[in-house]
Amino acid sequence: MRIALLSFVSLLALSGTAFTQETPLPEPIRESASAPLARALADLRDAPRGDRAAAIAKVVDLAGTAADVTRTIRSALPAPPTEAGWHVLDATDSENVTRPYHLYVPESAVRATEPLPLLIDMHGGVSRPEFIDAERFAQFRETWTEIADEYGVVVAMPLGRVDCTWWTDAGVRHVQAVIRDAKRHAPIDSDRVVATGFSDGGSGCYYLAMAAPDPFAALLPMNGHPMVAVGASQRQLYLRNAASMPLFVCMTQDDGLYPAQTVLPHILALIRESAQIHLVSYPTGGHSPSYFEDQSEAFAGFIVSALRDPQPDAIEWTTAHIETGRRAWAEVLEIGAADTDALAEAVPDIQVLSSPGRVLIGIGIDREYDGAGVRVTTVDDRRPAGELGLHEGDVVIRVDDTAIADLGDLRVVLGKKRFGDELTVEVRRGAESITATTTIPPFTPEPSYHRERETAWFSLVRDGNTVNVTSRGVRRLRLQLSDAQFDLTKEIAVVVNGIERARELRAPDLQRIVEDWTSNADSGRLFPAFIDVAVPAASDETK
């Protein structure tokens, strides 16, 4: 495949989908349910975390069976109390950590009993030491309000910081908690949640696509880079996972941080895997979403038309970490060579050789520093900063012959450097001024996605009450069972690499389904039962 970066490239046609101004709005509103169980489930959905125990007990008392609960949840529950406009709220995650977020509720949501799409917008500069204060953040949050008002989209903006970045477990839990908490304040369709973000937020979208895509119908990364997700997370990530998610990718060719030429190889690799990719690349705009106005109609169409299949009959997933081992209703519980791995054909890894990109000297930046120069927070000894002898707390005041007043100056001067160039940096350290010179090492291409850890891969297909699994490196797998997919009055059979590993009758568990609803209020994924499937470890002969 040969694709050139034109002066203005719009590759939407690659997906076979186009968006126009005639994109339909959501289906007409219907009357909400009013039965006691429906009201109790709505109260459980809307209850603050500390009040949920009593709400759970009430639902269990009213419900006769797990089927009563799932049937009622899938009907139209009473809408949550809604007030239009912006709200500054808190969301408490599964580890009981509370963090702030901003929520925009369009006027149409106040009148709605039919749930609306939810857009999660992750901000950039996420590695700052503190959350952005509400007054300062207010100037950034208006980006999506016009689309939200016109198309009936609820917008939630989680706040991140250095201990809650989008590519960490804490950041993912926060995003998930924001999705859950937003359902307490506005009618939201669990199958129409889309994540977007600019810069670090865009890189966070790539992380979610490769490691934690389950709540989302689609992702819209703007001026981010998959390699930020890889490097910053220190996780072994797999580009193949992102092929299962619809992506609308925006980039600029003159981006000083993540130029399009360095992102494009990853996107083209996904396109070759038949991923649903909408790609727009602009020749200019720098590191900014300067294309937003041009693309706003396409963005709106992408958001309101995205629809998650909550319980797909076919799933494929790859992981090297138990923490990122779940996809839809299947979850890796143990990784390791298994005795039937040889019966499964190895799946080719999707690998991309690294490209030169911009020169990185290997320092973290204090974004809250408001003095002259750029203050250093961390030093990577493997990069030029280590050779220069820079320390935490140093303030960079000059690079070569250019005075550095702020981060913008530093980006401009480093953007002109090339691998192999000489680099001179002057820093202020306390009362001293220190100057050092080094040579930027030549660039050597390497595989972008590191592979030190053992990999677990599975592909499964449901056929009635039988699940056929092909896997490598999976010792234990949990299958979450929905009464929308399986006949739970009959045995469930699980066949792994041609060998039947389980045949069980699993009765629906009322308490389990209520607790699931409590944790995520996800009406699309209700699992009243599960099966754990064990595969013996490989012997020396089968390794």
State residue 257's pLDDT score: 86
Helix H or strand E segment including 79: none
Structural domains in the chain plus CATH codes: 9-30+82-305 (3.40.50.1820), 33-78 (no CATH), 314-351+449-534 (no CATH), 363-439 (2.30.42.10)
CA-based R_g, the chain, Å: 25
Give the separation between CA 89 and CA 408, rounded to whole angstroms. 32
Better-scored residue on pLDDT, 200 or 541: 200
Residue pair 221/205 in contact by the 8 Å Cβ criterion:
yes
* Residue matched to tokens 């101004």: 21
Question: What pLDDT shows up at residue 450?
Answer: 93
pLDDT digits (tens, 9 = 90+) for 441-466: 998 888 999 999 999 999 999 999 99
Query: Residue 362 above 70 pLDDT?
Result: yes
Per the DSSP assignment, residues forming a β-bridge with 284 are none
pLDDT band at 534 (very low <50, low <70, confident <90, very high): very high
For residue 21, the model assigns a pLDDT of: 33
Confidence of residue 535 (pLDDT cuts 50, 70, 90): very high
pLDDT at residue number 27: 38
What is residue 136's predicted lDDT score, i.e. its pLDDT? 87
Given a cut of 80, whether residue 31 has pLDDT beyond it is no
Cα gap 415→496, rounded to integer Å: 52
Q: Identify whether the C-beta of residue 124 lies closer than 8 Å to the C-beta of residue 203.
A: no
Q: What does the alpha-carbon distance between residue 380 and residue 390 come to, in Å, rounded to a whole number?
A: 9
**Nearest one of 72, 101, 106, 104 to 88, comparing CA atoms:** 101
Residue 22 has pLDDT above 90, yes or no: no
Q: What is the pLDDT of residues 170-194, one digit of tens each?
A: 999 999 999 999 999 999 999 999 9
Confidence of residue 318 (pLDDT cuts 50, 70, 90): very high
**pLDDT confidence of residue 28:** 35
Q: Is the predicted pLDDT of residue 17 greater than 50, yes or no?
A: no
Asked whether 193 and 304 are in contact (CB, 8 A), the reply is no
pLDDT band, residue 82 (cuts 50/70/90): confident
Q: Which helix (H) or strand (E) holds 235?
A: none
- 19-28, 274-283, 496-505: segment of lowest average pLDDT: 19-28
Q: Looking at the whole model, is its pTM more than 0.75?
A: yes
Look-up of token digits 């020169």:
359
> Tokens in use for 52?
């949920």
Average pLDDT over residues 212-229: 97
Average pLDDT over residues 511-533: 94
d(CA 46, CA 65): 22
* Mean predicted lDDT score pLDDT of the chain: 90
Of 215 and 358, the one with more pLDDT: 215
CA separation, residue 496 to residues 312, 463, 470, 511, 534 (Å): 18, 14, 6, 30, 9
Residue in the block written with tokens 């109390």: 81
- At residue 26, the pLDDT reads 37
CB atoms < 10 A from the CB of 540, how many?
Answer: 5
pLDDT of residue 540: 59
Q: Pick the range with the lowest mean pLDDT from 163-177, 434-448, 488-502.
A: 434-448
pLDDT at 305 over 50: yes
Phi, psi of 522 (to 5 degrees): -95, 100
**Does 1 score more than 70 pLDDT?**
no
CA distances from 360 to 382, 385, 429, 448 (A): 11, 9, 21, 16
Question: For residue range 384-431, what is the model confidence (pLDDT) as tens digits?
Answer: 999 999 999 999 999 999 999 999 899 899 988 999 999 999 999 999
| Whole-number pLDDT of residue 355 | 77
Band (542; pLDDT cuts 50, 70, 90): low
* Mean per-residue pLDDT, 160-178: 97
pLDDT single digits (tens) 50-68: 899 999 999 999 998 999 9
Record the tokens describing residue 99, joined without a space.
């963090």
Query: pLDDT digits over 100-152, tens only?
Result: 999 999 999 888 778 999 999 999 999 899 999 988 898 888 999 999 999 99
Report which secondary-structure segment, H or E, holds 511: helix 510-520
529 neighbors 507 (Cβ within 8 angstroms): yes
Per-residue pLDDT, 356: 77
* Predicted local confidence at residue 543, as pLDDT: 57
Percent of the chain whose predicted confidence (pLDDT) is above 70: 93
Residue 298: name the closest of 80, 72, 518, 15 by CA: 15
Token pair belonging to 521: 């209020």
What whole-number distance in Å separates Cα of residue 492 and Cα of residue 501?
11
